[in-house]
Protein backbone atom coordinates (compact mmCIF):
# COMPACT_ATOMS: atom_id res chain seq x y z
CA UNK A 1 0.00 0.00 0.00
CA UNK A 2 1.18 3.56 -0.66
CA UNK A 3 0.66 5.41 2.59
CA UNK A 4 1.16 8.76 0.88
CA UNK A 5 -2.16 8.48 -0.89
CA UNK A 6 -4.26 7.40 2.07
CA UNK A 7 -7.18 9.79 2.45
CA UNK A 8 -9.44 10.42 5.38
CA UNK A 9 -13.14 10.90 4.84
CA UNK A 10 -13.47 14.50 3.92
CA UNK A 11 -16.32 16.86 3.28
CA UNK A 12 -16.37 20.61 3.14
CA UNK A 13 -19.01 23.18 2.41
CA UNK A 14 -18.37 25.94 -0.09
CA UNK A 15 -20.51 28.03 -2.36
CA UNK A 16 -19.33 26.69 -5.72
CA UNK A 17 -21.35 27.07 -8.93
CA UNK A 18 -22.32 24.13 -11.09
CA UNK A 19 -19.38 22.85 -13.17
CA UNK A 20 -20.32 22.11 -16.78
CA UNK A 21 -24.05 22.42 -16.06
CA UNK A 22 -23.47 25.76 -14.36
CA UNK A 23 -21.87 27.22 -17.46
CA UNK A 24 -24.85 26.14 -19.55
CA UNK A 25 -27.38 27.52 -17.07
CA UNK A 26 -25.53 30.80 -16.67
CA UNK A 27 -25.55 31.30 -20.43
CA UNK A 28 -29.27 30.57 -20.58
CA UNK A 29 -29.85 33.14 -17.85
CA UNK A 30 -27.87 35.69 -19.85
CA UNK A 31 -29.78 34.83 -23.01
CA UNK A 32 -33.19 35.09 -21.36
CA UNK A 33 -32.77 38.13 -19.15
CA UNK A 34 -30.02 40.39 -20.44
CA UNK A 35 -29.42 39.66 -24.11
CA UNK A 36 -32.78 38.95 -25.65
CA UNK A 37 -31.33 39.10 -29.14
CA UNK A 38 -29.02 36.17 -28.28
CA UNK A 39 -31.82 33.87 -27.15
CA UNK A 40 -32.17 32.18 -30.54
CA UNK A 41 -28.43 31.61 -30.50
CA UNK A 42 -28.73 29.97 -27.09
CA UNK A 43 -31.48 27.68 -28.40
CA UNK A 44 -29.34 26.63 -31.36
CA UNK A 45 -26.40 26.00 -29.06
CA UNK A 46 -28.45 23.80 -26.71
CA UNK A 47 -29.80 21.85 -29.70
CA UNK A 48 -26.25 21.22 -30.91
CA UNK A 49 -25.24 20.08 -27.42
CA UNK A 50 -28.22 17.77 -26.96
CA UNK A 51 -27.17 14.13 -27.25
CA UNK A 52 -29.57 11.72 -25.53
CA UNK A 53 -28.44 8.27 -24.49
CA UNK A 54 -30.02 5.24 -26.12
CA UNK A 55 -31.92 4.51 -22.92
CA UNK A 56 -33.28 8.08 -22.91
CA UNK A 57 -35.18 7.29 -26.10
CA UNK A 58 -37.42 4.85 -24.25
CA UNK A 59 -40.84 6.60 -23.86
CA UNK A 60 -41.27 5.30 -20.31
CA UNK A 61 -37.92 6.71 -19.22
CA UNK A 62 -38.65 9.99 -20.98
CA UNK A 63 -41.84 10.38 -18.96
CA UNK A 64 -40.07 9.42 -15.73
CA UNK A 65 -37.38 12.08 -16.24
CA UNK A 66 -39.92 14.71 -17.28
CA UNK A 67 -42.03 13.98 -14.20
CA UNK A 68 -39.00 14.09 -11.92
CA UNK A 69 -38.08 17.56 -13.16
CA UNK A 70 -41.70 18.77 -13.14
CA UNK A 71 -42.17 17.52 -9.56
CA UNK A 72 -38.86 19.14 -8.58
CA UNK A 73 -37.48 15.89 -7.20
CA UNK A 74 -33.79 15.50 -6.43
CA UNK A 75 -31.70 14.52 -9.45
CA UNK A 76 -28.21 13.08 -9.96
CA UNK A 77 -26.00 14.47 -12.71
CA UNK A 78 -22.70 12.97 -13.91
CA UNK A 79 -20.22 15.54 -15.21
CA UNK A 80 -17.42 14.23 -17.43
CA UNK A 81 -14.32 16.18 -18.47
CA UNK A 82 -12.77 14.38 -21.44
CA UNK A 83 -9.12 14.87 -22.33
CA UNK A 84 -9.61 14.16 -26.03
CA UNK A 85 -6.60 14.62 -28.29
CA UNK A 86 -5.83 14.03 -31.96
CA UNK A 87 -5.97 10.31 -32.78
CA UNK A 88 -7.10 9.44 -29.25
CA UNK A 89 -10.72 9.13 -28.15
CA UNK A 90 -9.61 10.12 -24.66
CA UNK A 91 -10.60 9.14 -21.15
CA UNK A 92 -12.78 10.81 -18.56
CA UNK A 93 -10.03 12.60 -16.64
CA UNK A 94 -12.66 14.38 -14.55
CA UNK A 95 -15.73 12.62 -13.14
CA UNK A 96 -18.03 14.52 -10.80
CA UNK A 97 -21.31 13.13 -9.48
CA UNK A 98 -23.71 15.84 -8.37
CA UNK A 99 -26.90 15.25 -6.40
CA UNK A 100 -29.16 18.29 -6.59
CA UNK A 101 -32.08 18.63 -4.17
CA UNK A 102 -34.31 21.71 -4.72
CA UNK A 103 -36.39 20.86 -1.64
CA UNK A 104 -33.47 21.39 0.73
CA UNK A 105 -31.82 23.86 -1.66
CA UNK A 106 -28.57 21.95 -1.42
CA UNK A 107 -26.20 19.97 -3.62
CA UNK A 108 -23.73 17.17 -2.90
CA UNK A 109 -20.70 17.07 -5.20
CA UNK A 110 -18.58 13.92 -5.32
CA UNK A 111 -15.26 14.00 -7.20
CA UNK A 112 -14.43 10.47 -8.35
CA UNK A 113 -10.68 9.75 -8.66
CA UNK A 114 -9.99 8.55 -12.18
CA UNK A 115 -7.87 5.61 -10.96
CA UNK A 116 -10.65 4.17 -8.78
CA UNK A 117 -10.65 0.36 -9.12
CA UNK A 118 -14.16 -0.77 -10.08
CA UNK A 119 -15.97 -3.34 -12.18
CA UNK A 120 -16.65 -2.01 -15.68
CA UNK A 121 -19.62 -3.97 -17.10
CA UNK A 122 -18.43 -6.32 -19.82
CA UNK A 123 -14.78 -5.46 -19.18
CA UNK A 124 -14.04 -6.53 -15.61
CA UNK A 125 -12.03 -4.73 -12.92
CA UNK A 126 -10.21 -1.64 -14.17
CA UNK A 127 -9.74 2.10 -13.61
CA UNK A 128 -13.08 3.87 -13.66
CA UNK A 129 -11.95 6.43 -16.26
CA UNK A 130 -11.30 3.63 -18.77
CA UNK A 131 -15.05 3.09 -19.05
CA UNK A 132 -15.28 6.08 -21.39
CA UNK A 133 -12.61 4.69 -23.72
CA UNK A 134 -14.40 1.32 -23.79
CA UNK A 135 -17.97 2.53 -24.21
CA UNK A 136 -18.28 6.31 -24.24
CA UNK A 137 -20.71 8.18 -21.98
CA UNK A 138 -23.19 5.30 -21.74
CA UNK A 139 -20.66 2.89 -20.22
CA UNK A 140 -19.27 5.61 -17.94
CA UNK A 141 -22.74 6.17 -16.53
CA UNK A 142 -23.45 2.45 -16.18
CA UNK A 143 -20.12 1.96 -14.39
CA UNK A 144 -20.78 4.77 -11.91
CA UNK A 145 -24.33 3.56 -11.30
CA UNK A 146 -23.08 0.04 -10.57
CA UNK A 147 -20.16 1.13 -8.38
CA UNK A 148 -22.23 3.39 -6.14
CA UNK A 149 -25.63 1.71 -6.58
CA UNK A 150 -27.17 5.09 -7.41
CA UNK A 151 -29.21 6.30 -10.40
CA UNK A 152 -27.80 8.85 -12.87
CA UNK A 153 -30.55 10.95 -14.42
CA UNK A 154 -28.57 13.38 -16.57
CA UNK A 155 -25.04 13.92 -17.79
CA UNK A 156 -22.86 16.66 -19.29
CA UNK A 157 -19.61 15.93 -21.15
CA UNK A 158 -17.04 18.59 -22.04
CA UNK A 159 -13.94 18.25 -24.18
CA UNK A 160 -11.09 19.79 -22.17
CA UNK A 161 -9.48 21.20 -25.35
CA UNK A 162 -12.68 23.21 -25.78
CA UNK A 163 -12.29 24.28 -22.19
CA UNK A 164 -8.98 25.91 -23.23
CA UNK A 165 -10.74 27.80 -26.03
CA UNK A 166 -13.41 28.96 -23.59
CA UNK A 167 -10.86 30.42 -21.17
CA UNK A 168 -9.23 32.35 -24.02
CA UNK A 169 -12.66 33.63 -25.12
CA UNK A 170 -13.13 35.36 -21.75
CA UNK A 171 -9.55 36.73 -21.75
CA UNK A 172 -8.29 34.30 -19.12
CA UNK A 173 -8.93 33.84 -15.41
CA UNK A 174 -7.23 34.70 -12.12
CA UNK A 175 -6.83 32.03 -9.43
CA UNK A 176 -5.14 31.75 -6.04
CA UNK A 177 -2.58 28.93 -6.27
CA UNK A 178 -1.54 27.26 -3.00
CA UNK A 179 1.23 24.96 -4.30
CA UNK A 180 4.19 25.90 -6.53
CA UNK A 181 4.80 23.55 -9.48
CA UNK A 182 5.86 23.20 -13.11
CA UNK A 183 3.59 21.60 -15.68
CA UNK A 184 3.48 21.45 -19.47
CA UNK A 185 6.35 23.91 -19.88
CA UNK A 186 4.82 26.48 -17.53
CA UNK A 187 5.81 27.55 -14.00
CA UNK A 188 2.98 28.15 -11.53
CA UNK A 189 4.08 30.10 -8.42
CA UNK A 190 2.00 30.37 -5.28
CA UNK A 191 -0.41 33.27 -4.84
CA UNK A 192 -2.65 34.97 -7.38
CA UNK A 193 -1.81 34.02 -10.96
CA UNK A 194 -3.37 34.88 -14.32
CA UNK A 195 -4.06 31.99 -16.68
CA UNK A 196 -4.80 32.00 -20.39
CA UNK A 197 -6.43 28.95 -21.95
CA UNK A 198 -3.24 26.92 -22.42
CA UNK A 199 -1.99 27.63 -18.91
CA UNK A 200 -5.40 26.94 -17.38
CA UNK A 201 -5.52 23.53 -19.05
CA UNK A 202 -2.07 22.57 -17.73
CA UNK A 203 -2.94 24.00 -14.31
CA UNK A 204 -5.93 21.68 -14.09
CA UNK A 205 -4.02 18.65 -15.42
CA UNK A 206 -1.27 18.50 -12.79
CA UNK A 207 -1.58 15.78 -10.17
CA UNK A 208 1.73 13.86 -9.90
CA UNK A 209 3.50 16.61 -7.94
CA UNK A 210 0.51 17.31 -5.72
CA UNK A 211 0.59 15.50 -2.35
CA UNK A 212 -3.17 15.02 -2.67
CA UNK A 213 -2.98 13.57 -6.19
CA UNK A 214 -6.37 13.49 -7.91
CA UNK A 215 -8.03 15.28 -4.99
CA UNK A 216 -5.80 18.33 -5.43
CA UNK A 217 -6.24 18.17 -9.18
CA UNK A 218 -10.01 18.16 -8.82
CA UNK A 219 -9.81 21.21 -6.55
CA UNK A 220 -7.83 23.12 -9.19
CA UNK A 221 -10.37 22.21 -11.85
CA UNK A 222 -13.23 23.53 -9.73
CA UNK A 223 -11.16 26.63 -8.91
CA UNK A 224 -10.61 27.51 -12.58
CA UNK A 225 -14.24 26.88 -13.49
CA UNK A 226 -15.43 29.05 -10.60
CA UNK A 227 -13.17 31.88 -11.82
CA UNK A 228 -14.46 31.37 -15.37
CA UNK A 229 -18.04 31.60 -14.15
CA UNK A 230 -17.29 34.96 -12.53
CA UNK A 231 -15.94 36.20 -15.86
CA UNK A 232 -18.80 34.78 -17.92
CA UNK A 233 -21.46 36.65 -15.97
CA UNK A 234 -19.49 39.89 -16.04
CA UNK A 235 -20.32 42.69 -18.45
CA UNK A 236 -17.06 42.37 -20.39
CA UNK A 237 -17.70 38.70 -21.10
CA UNK A 238 -21.34 39.24 -22.01
CA UNK A 239 -20.19 41.21 -25.06
CA UNK A 240 -18.53 38.01 -26.32
CA UNK A 241 -21.57 35.80 -25.83
CA UNK A 242 -21.65 34.68 -29.48
CA UNK A 243 -18.09 33.38 -29.41
CA UNK A 244 -18.61 31.65 -26.07
CA UNK A 245 -21.77 29.95 -27.32
CA UNK A 246 -19.93 28.70 -30.42
CA UNK A 247 -17.23 27.16 -28.25
CA UNK A 248 -19.78 25.66 -25.88
CA UNK A 249 -21.84 24.18 -28.71
CA UNK A 250 -18.81 22.54 -30.26
CA UNK A 251 -17.41 21.01 -27.08
CA UNK A 252 -20.27 20.08 -24.73
CA UNK A 253 -22.75 17.23 -25.00
CA UNK A 254 -25.65 16.55 -22.64
CA UNK A 255 -28.96 14.70 -22.51
CA UNK A 256 -30.61 17.83 -21.10
CA UNK A 257 -32.77 19.59 -23.68
CA UNK A 258 -33.80 23.25 -23.65
CA UNK A 259 -37.00 22.71 -21.64
CA UNK A 260 -35.23 20.72 -18.93
CA UNK A 261 -32.35 23.21 -18.75
CA UNK A 262 -34.79 26.06 -18.25
CA UNK A 263 -36.67 24.06 -15.61
CA UNK A 264 -33.43 23.30 -13.80
CA UNK A 265 -32.49 26.96 -13.79
CA UNK A 266 -35.81 28.28 -12.52
CA UNK A 267 -36.65 25.43 -10.11
CA UNK A 268 -33.25 24.08 -9.02
CA UNK A 269 -30.93 27.10 -9.09
CA UNK A 270 -31.09 27.82 -5.34
CA UNK A 271 -29.53 24.42 -4.69
CA UNK A 272 -26.35 25.76 -6.31
CA UNK A 273 -25.93 28.19 -3.42
CA UNK A 274 -25.13 25.44 -0.93
CA UNK A 275 -22.73 22.85 -2.35
CA UNK A 276 -21.17 20.27 -0.05
CA UNK A 277 -18.26 18.36 -1.52
CA UNK A 278 -17.46 14.74 -0.74
CA UNK A 279 -14.27 12.76 -1.25
CA UNK A 280 -13.74 9.01 -1.49
CA UNK A 281 -11.46 7.49 1.14
CA UNK A 282 -9.10 4.91 -0.30
CA UNK A 283 -5.52 3.72 -0.66
CA UNK A 284 -3.10 3.31 -3.55
CA UNK A 285 -2.15 -0.20 -4.58
CA UNK A 286 -0.14 -1.64 -7.46
CA UNK A 287 -1.73 -4.66 -9.15
CA UNK A 288 0.13 -6.33 -12.03
CA UNK A 289 2.45 -3.30 -12.23
CA UNK A 290 -0.50 -0.89 -12.58
CA UNK A 291 -1.41 1.67 -9.90
CA UNK A 292 -5.03 1.78 -8.74
CA UNK A 293 -7.03 3.68 -6.14
CA UNK A 294 -8.63 1.00 -3.97
CA UNK A 295 -11.93 1.81 -2.29
CA UNK A 296 -13.46 -0.58 0.21
CA UNK A 297 -17.07 -1.76 -0.06
CA UNK A 298 -17.89 0.04 3.19
CA UNK A 299 -16.80 3.33 1.66
CA UNK A 300 -18.94 2.82 -1.44
CA UNK A 301 -21.85 2.03 0.90
CA UNK A 302 -21.22 5.17 2.96
CA UNK A 303 -21.33 7.37 -0.12
CA UNK A 304 -24.46 5.64 -1.40
CA UNK A 305 -26.22 6.16 1.93
CA UNK A 306 -25.26 9.83 2.22
CA UNK A 307 -26.36 10.65 -1.32
CA UNK A 308 -29.59 8.64 -0.89
CA UNK A 309 -30.38 10.53 2.33
CA UNK A 310 -29.67 13.79 0.56
CA UNK A 311 -32.00 12.86 -2.31
CA UNK A 312 -34.83 11.87 0.02
CA UNK A 313 -34.57 14.89 2.34
CA UNK A 314 -37.46 17.34 2.35
What band does 162 get if pLDDT is binned at 50, 70 and 90? confident
pTM score above 0.85 = no
What per-residue confidence (pLDDT) applies to 179? 92
**CA–CA separation, 17 vs 19, rounded Å?**
6
Q: pLDDT, tens digit, for every residue of 10-67?
A: 444 443 333 444 444 444 444 444 444 456 777 788 888 899 999 999 999 999 999 9
Least reliable range by pLDDT among 110-124, 201-215, 293-307: 201-215
Mean pLDDT score of the chain, rounded to an integer?
A: 81
Give percent of the chain with pLDDT exceeding 70.
80
Q: pLDDT, tens digit, for every residue of 91-122?
A: 677 888 989 999 999 988 888 988 999 999 99
What per-residue confidence (pLDDT) applies to 94? 80
Q: Are 55 and 61 in contact (CB under 8 A)?
A: yes
Ordered alpha helix ranges (H), the chain: 20-33, 39-49, 59-70, 130-148, 160-169, 197-205, 214-232, 235-238, 241-251, 258-268, 297-312
Give the residue-averaged pLDDT of 65-74.
Answer: 93
Phi, psi (5° rounding) for residue 284? -85, 140
What per-residue confidence (pLDDT) applies to 87? 61
What per-residue confidence (pLDDT) applies to 250? 80
What per-residue confidence (pLDDT) applies to 8? 40
CATH number of 8-173+237-312: 3.30.420.590
Give the residue-averaged pLDDT of 118-147.
Answer: 96
Among candidate residues 179, 249, 247, 250, the one with its CA nearest the CA of residue 217: 179
What band does 245 get if pLDDT is binned at 50, 70 and 90? confident
Amino acid sequence: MDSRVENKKHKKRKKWPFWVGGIILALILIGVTTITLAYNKVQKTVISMHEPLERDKDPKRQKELEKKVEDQDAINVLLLGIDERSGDKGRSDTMILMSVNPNTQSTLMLSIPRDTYVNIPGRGMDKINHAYAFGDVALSIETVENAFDLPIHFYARVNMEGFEQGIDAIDGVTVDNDIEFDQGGYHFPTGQINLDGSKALEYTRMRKRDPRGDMGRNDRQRQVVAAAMDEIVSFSSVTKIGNILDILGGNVKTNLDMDKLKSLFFDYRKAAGDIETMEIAGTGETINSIWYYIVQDEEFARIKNEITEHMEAR
